[in-house]
Amino acid sequence: MKKEKIILTGDRPTGKLHIGHYVGSLRRRVELQNSGLYDRIFVFEADGQALTDNIDNPAKVRSNVIEVALDYLAVGLDPTKTTLFIQSQIPELCELTFYFMDLVSVARLQRNPTVKTEIGMRGFGESIPVGFFTYPVSQAADIAAFRATHVPAGEDQEPMIEQCREIVRRFNHIYGETLTEPEIMLPDNSACLRLPGTDGKAKMSKSLGNCIYLADTADEVERKVKSMYTDPGHLRVSDPGKIEGNCVFTYLDAFCCPDHFGRYLPDYASLDELKVHYMRGGLGDMKVKKFLGAVMQEMLEPIRKRRAEWESDIPSVVEILRKGCEEAREVAADTMDDVRRAMKINYFDDTSLMDERAAGKED
Ligand code: TRP
């Protein structure tokens, strides 16, 4: 039998999604969804994982479950092609995590560089929640439960996927080929790896207030683009400007394509030409920002429109999630049947396990 190609990926619902998520992952997911190359696609909200450092604020996670679902639908994830579901509604994931916990050591988890950084950033001190520390194990279960072969994710997720592969290998080694080793699909365009915030800081983050959200109005987007960080040394239009570290150009790298010039800035043929002029001097920030604004609005407008449509029909969004959870649960339950059978802990299905003892044969 030909091995199925199964995609699984997800996000922690801790805030609305922004254009950093869009270039880094969402845009690609929609392409993958529409490519027709995959047998199944699962995109889920890791609300359980979000709770590992928000357990005192479940309202935040709860409200963002709907916001993120709206963002998914707005960018073009299509529930008839992609199963959208919520992690906490799939109890099989807890069950698989329970066994996976025995296949990884504390020392191995302590070496996971992503978790290490995150623990430092959150300032847990001596009080690291066990659930947070072990979330890579639960993440391995998320992936394995759906037999995912491909996990589209950013490079920060590489250690998670590696850990999942190790756990799956160990499981299969002990109990026989049962689970699938996934591989990560990294973003292919370097401009997509990480979009800086509008203030030029390395990352878009809600706490820094430097995000452009998919749900922002046209006015908000315009205001944010206008106040974007450029080159602090570029004081007069005639001054030569720097491209490196200049957000406006980083964003253009990520979003602009050749035909945008014809539509919005016909004096230039390409982004390279625009850059050359900026570096030489004589090109003002406002002109470039106006162009970027037009490029961004063109991209965001259809997303905003679709989001508004779904927003006026929240019960349908809830129904999509409910159906998605049902579908997802069937798949995870099926994997768990195989897992229990492989581990020979399906005592009541496989009566031979008990019969052996009854017949006096101890194994
Ligand atoms: N850790 C991911 C994030 O921070 C979310 C996530 C949870 C995930 N489980 C996953 C991603 C499984 C890919 C596959 O966004």
Residue 298 and residue 334 share a domain: no
Measured in angstroms, how far is the CA atom of residue 276 from the centroid of ligand 1? 40
Indicate whether 163 and 237 sit together in one domain. no
Tens digits of residue pLDDT in 164-222: 999 999 999 999 999 999 999 988 765 555 789 999 887 888 888 999 999 999 999 99
Ligand 1: residue of 7, 8, 11, 28 to mutate (most ligand atoms within 8 A of CB) is 11
Quickly tell me which residue has 């995912």 as its tokens.
Answer: 148
Q: Using CA positions, which residue lies closest to atom 15 of ligand 1?
A: 11
Helices (H), the chain: 19-21, 27-35, 47-51, 58-75, 91-100, 106-110, 113-122, 130-133, 135-145, 158-175, 190-193, 218-226, 247-255, 258-264, 271-280, 285-311, 314-343, 352-358
User: Among candidates 256, 299, 250, which has minimal Cα distance to 26?
Assistant: 299
Is the domain of 149 the same as that of 267? no
Residue 363: the pLDDT is 53
Separation of alpha carbons 50 and 65, rounded Å: 10
Q: What is the mean pLDDT of the chain?
A: 93
Stretch 290-313: mean pLDDT, rounded?
97
pTM of the model: 0.93
CB 212 within 8 A of CB 221: yes
Instruction: Answer yes or no: is pLDDT of 336 > 80.
Output: yes
Which atom belonging to ligand 1 lies closest to the Cα atom of 161?
Answer: 14
Give the integer Cα–Cα distance in Å for 84 and 278: 44
If asked whether residues 238 and 261 sit together in one domain, one would say yes
Domain ranges, residue 162: 6-194+314-355
Residue ID of nearest Cα to ligand 1 atom 13: 9
**Cα atoms in the 13 Å half-sphere on the side-chain side of 58:** 3
Q: Is residue 292 part of a domain?
A: yes
Residue 262 belongs to a domain = yes
Same domain, 13 and 55: yes
190 and 282 belong to one structural domain: no
Q: Which atom of ligand 1 is nearest to the CA of 138?
A: 9
Residues 122 and 154 placed together within one structural domain of the fold: yes
Pair 302, 331 in one domain: no
Same-domain pairing of 155 and 250: no
Rg (CA), the chain: 24
Share of the chain above pLDDT 70, in %: 98
Asked whether the predicted pLDDT for residue 287 surpasses 70, the reply is yes
Supply the pLDDT for residue 210: 94
Q: What residues form DSSP beta bridges with 150?
A: 7, 183
Answer yes or no: are the C-beta atoms of 136 and 115 closer than 8 Å: yes
Cα-to-centroid distance, 85 and ligand 1 (Å): 13
Q: Are residues 298 and 326 in the same domain?
A: no
Give residue 246 CA to ligand 1 midpoint distance, Å.
Answer: 30
What pLDDT score does 354 carry? Answer: 75
Domain count, the chain: 2
**Residue with tokens 């927003």, as numbered in its chain:** 311
CA of 10 to the centre of ligand 1 (A): 5
Same domain membership, residue 147 and residue 241: no
Tell me, in angstroms, the distance from the centre of ligand 1 to residue 11's CA: 5
pLDDT value of residue 361: 60
Question: Greater confidence, 163 or 156?
Answer: 163
Task: Identify whether the C-beta of residue 212 lies closer than 8 Å to the C-beta of residue 296.
Answer: yes
Statement: residue 7 has pLDDT above 70:
yes
| Any domain includes 247 | yes
Residue 202 within a domain: no
Instruction: Give the nearest ligand 1 atom to 8 CA.
Output: 14
For residue 127, report the distance from its CA to the centre of ligand 1, in Å.
Answer: 23
Residue 283's φ and ψ, nearest 5 degrees, are -120, 120
In a domain, 142, yes or no: yes
DSSP per-residue codes, 292-338: HHHHHHHHHHHHHHHHHHHHTTHHHHHHHHHHHHHHHHHHHHHHHHH
Instruction: Give strand pairing partners of 10.
Output: 44
Q: Any residues with Cβ below 6 Å from ligand 1, and which?
A: 8-12, 46, 49, 139, 142-143, 151, 153
What pLDDT digit, counting tens, does each position of 127-151 carry? 999 999 999 999 999 999 999 999 9
Domain boundary among 294, 310, 326: 310
Query: Candidates 160, 165, 167: which one to mutate for ligand 1, based on the most atoms within 8 Å of Cβ?
Result: 160
**For the segment 41-63, what is each residue's pLDDT rounded down to a tens digit?**
999 999 999 999 999 999 999 99
CATH number of the domain to which 296 belongs: 1.10.240.10
**29/150 same-domain check:** yes
Other CB atoms within a 10 A radius of the CB of residue 247 amount to 22
Question: For residue 1, what pLDDT is reported?
Answer: 61
The 10s digit of each residue's pLDDT in 82-131 is: 999 999 999 999 999 999 999 999 999 999 999 999 998 888 888 999 99
Q: Which among 20, 5, 143, 21 has a CA at the least distance from the CA of 72?
A: 21
Residue 213 located in a structural domain: no
Say if 276 falls within a structural domain: yes
- Per the domain annotation, does 176 fall within a domain? yes
CATH code assigned at 36: 3.40.50.620
